[in-house]
Structure 1
Amino acid sequence: MEKLTSRERQVYQQIVKNPYVSQQTLSEALQLSRSTVANIISGLVQKNVLLGRAYVLNKSRQVLCIGGANVDRKLHTHEPLQMYTSNPVYSRSSAGGVARNIAENLGRLGFHPSLITAAGMDADWDIIEKASGSFMNLDGVLHLPHATTGTYTALMNPHGELLTALADMEVFEAILPPLVMKSETKMRQSECMIADLNCPKETLELLLRMSRSFSVPLVFVTVSAPKMKRLPKDLRGLTWLMTNIEETEAHFHMSIDSKEKWCLAAGLWLEMGIEKVTITSGKDGVVAGEIEGGIHHFPSFSTGDVNDVTGAGDAFCSGVLYGWMEGMELREVMKTGMMNAVKCIQSPYTVRQDLTPSLLTQDVEELV
């Protein structure tokens, strides 16, 4: 699905509520001339959002996720960590990876994600495939017989907070432009493309060109400070950048030690031609900015009992994208993202297993 203008989205949302609504009713409800409404509807048909008279909706809601899919292994210490000796732990393994996690979140929220990634042909891939197949299309996975599937091993303290992590992500260097171009048709049909910075730089540059060419929104999700160097220099036209304070500090070679500098950093991203940006900082919340709506700080919610922080950032990104694609205003978008992250933290899973659109909406409404 191509990117919609604000007026197109308004008309689309009215038609979602009532597919048999007349153009006159739409004109009165939106305070637009009937000819304007007719032109907007014609545009929605051309963009394949509407499939014809009686306003049959194209509800496939495809999204394309490109990047990491790996096995998360989480080791929890029973006592405070002691260096240079053996520490008793209990462990859990599950499917993970930024792009894969976002795809599963969005799949549970009613979208139809397709995943492009690279993996080995091993037992770890079997774990990922079993956990992912119900929520995303895996036809875009490149299997390399002599490679090992990506792994992320996190060491957590007794409170579920990250102490350190080890990432074996070499296989993702194979997510190159020829692999991505095999999914060109899906790019054109997607409501949104989402890529994490496990992708090589040339792949991210290609996606930016395709986004501009196909008028499909593109989201970059950062994964670590060292991989910030993969960001293309020219980010003009990027719809969303989702990053955190540490990664932003690394990119701009600056120290962010106040809310003023935090907001300043968001402004620096926007000055690069990005339409919308989020910079998270754990318990301190998030600064979000958009070219038209300004820059705002949103405090975090109380997390209650922390079970496991792994996957919280991906849950936040997924909630934000869900709210945005549902047409919410920025404040509601941020609330939705932060609530999804809180519920993820309270869960022992990388992606909360009870996630549905209605439950997420209920969670957000209970904040009021």
Structure 2
Amino acid sequence: MSIDVLVLGGAHIDRRGRLDGPTRMGASNPGKWLEEPGGGAFNAACNLGRLGHRVRLVAPRGGDASGERVAAAAEQAGIEDCPVVFLDRATPSYTAILESDGNLIVALADMALYDLFSARRLRSRSLRDSLILASHVLCDANLPGETIAALASAANHLGKPVAAIAISPAKALRLTPSLQRLDHVFMNAAEAEVLAGARARQPADWPAMLRDVGLRAGTVTMGAGPTVAFDENGAALLTPPQLDAISDVTGAGDAFAAGFLSARIAGETIADALRQGTACAAITLISPHGTEKDLNNELLKSGLALVGEAAILS
């Protein structure tokens, strides 16, 4: 059976505490706690599956109850889950504290297990078969840099487009050796700055700066500010719609990546893909969860009605 998207990277437990009122540093703050499966690869895979794509997820995890919880959530989202299990290790976790408006204060990522997913594991029969069956490949920068490089090389050899989610400024550096072999990188402005070596004076400057370091195509999000997307043929700019209330910022970037990639798989232009990614992110921002469990193509259409047209950059 063919696979629309092979997704590799982070699938772990997300723990998020949200404060009830103003943040008081160095003190106890009242709030509420939410725990659920998450991770860049996991969130993107869930969104792609709910948008109707055949998705296979390959992610390292421990042989514990948390790993079983991730597997159950993947199955519920319609994903074919093919974990790489380390029986004597704990499944990674991400613990975040959010302000009352949903914005991040600080987070702790306990993800050393991902470093064990070395490049040699890509030589396993199951992974080689998955790459052959896949039409597109998506990874995140939770994986070691050498693994991302080996994956990009293998995908290039097979003629399979490969995209990457930068995850964080620190982890974005893992993409640097592979920029010329990646077909698209999803990043925010802080991650783009790490890759480009400087910060853009204005959003429209990002495409040239990132092309200069070897990237063929990418998207740079800036929260409520404009998002820019570019490929070898051009660039587009879009300001996200204003939302009355943001429930949680967690997973919005992963949702954007899934929506954008879904549109590109369907043959949409970069401007239309930018609109669809933005709509997916907006749907996730107003959800209390890292992925919107009710996401489908009909809900996406209603979200698109709130998103303006993208401006084509010269």
Work out whether 1:119 is the aligned partner of 2:61: yes
What is residue 280 of structure 1 aligned with on the other side?
Answer: 221
Q: How many residues align?
A: 305
Q: Deviations over 1:160-203 (max 9, x none)?
A: 11111111111111222232333111112212100101111111
What is residue 131 of structure 1 aligned with on the other side?
Answer: 73
Structure 2 runs not aligned, ≥5 long: 309-314
What is residue 20 of structure 1 aligned with on the other side?
Answer: none
What is residue 269 of structure 1 aligned with on the other side?
Answer: 210
Structure 1 runs not aligned, ≥5 long: 1-57
Match of 1:151 among 72, 93, 97: 93
Match of 1:326 among 266, 271, 284: 266
Asked whether the 8 Å contact 1:279–1:288 carries over to 2, the reply is yes
In the superposition, the TM-score normalised over structure 1's length comes to 0.79
Asked whether the 8 Å contact 1:71–1:95 carries over to 2, the reply is yes
The residue type paired with residue 81 of structure 2 is L
1:220 Cα deviation (Å)? 1.2
What is residue 50 of structure 1 aligned with on the other side?
Answer: none
The residue type paired with residue 206 of structure 2 is A
What is residue 246 of structure 2 aligned with on the other side?
Answer: 306
SS of the residue corresponding to residue 236 of structure 1 reads helix
Asked whether the 8 Å contact 2:3–2:56 carries over to 1, the reply is no
SS of the residue corresponding to residue 115 of structure 1 reads strand
What is residue 25 of structure 1 aligned with on the other side?
Answer: none
What is residue 312 of structure 2 aligned with on the other side?
Answer: none
Asked whether the 8 Å contact 2:216–2:232 carries over to 1, the reply is yes
- Select the structure with the greater relative contact order (CA < 8 A; seq sep ≥ 6): 2
Match of 1:142 among 65, 69, 84: 84
Asked whether the 8 Å contact 2:176–2:195 carries over to 1, the reply is no
What is residue 130 of structure 2 aligned with on the other side?
Answer: 186
From the CA coordinates, give the structure whose radius of gyration is larger.
1
Matches within 5 A, 1:39-188: 60-134=2-76, 135-139=78-82, 141-182=83-124, 183-188=127-132
SS of the residue corresponding to residue 131 of structure 1 reads helix
In the superposition, the TM-score normalised over structure 2's length comes to 0.92
Q: Deviations over 1:60-95 (max 9, x none)?
A: 542111110111111011121212222122111111
Q: Which moved more, 1:94-103 or 1:177-186?
A: 177-186
The residue type paired with residue 158 of structure 1 is S
Match of 1:364 among 267, 284, 304: 304
Question: Considering only aligned residues, what root-mean-square deviation do their CA atoms show, in Å?
Answer: 1.7
In structure 1, distance between residues paired with 2:178 and 2:290: 33
In structure 1, distance between residues paired with 2:26 and 2:74: 37
What is residue 49 of structure 1 aligned with on the other side?
Answer: none
The residue type paired with residue 280 of structure 2 is N
Q: Which has the higher strand share?
A: 2
SS of the residue corresponding to residue 243 of structure 1 reads strand
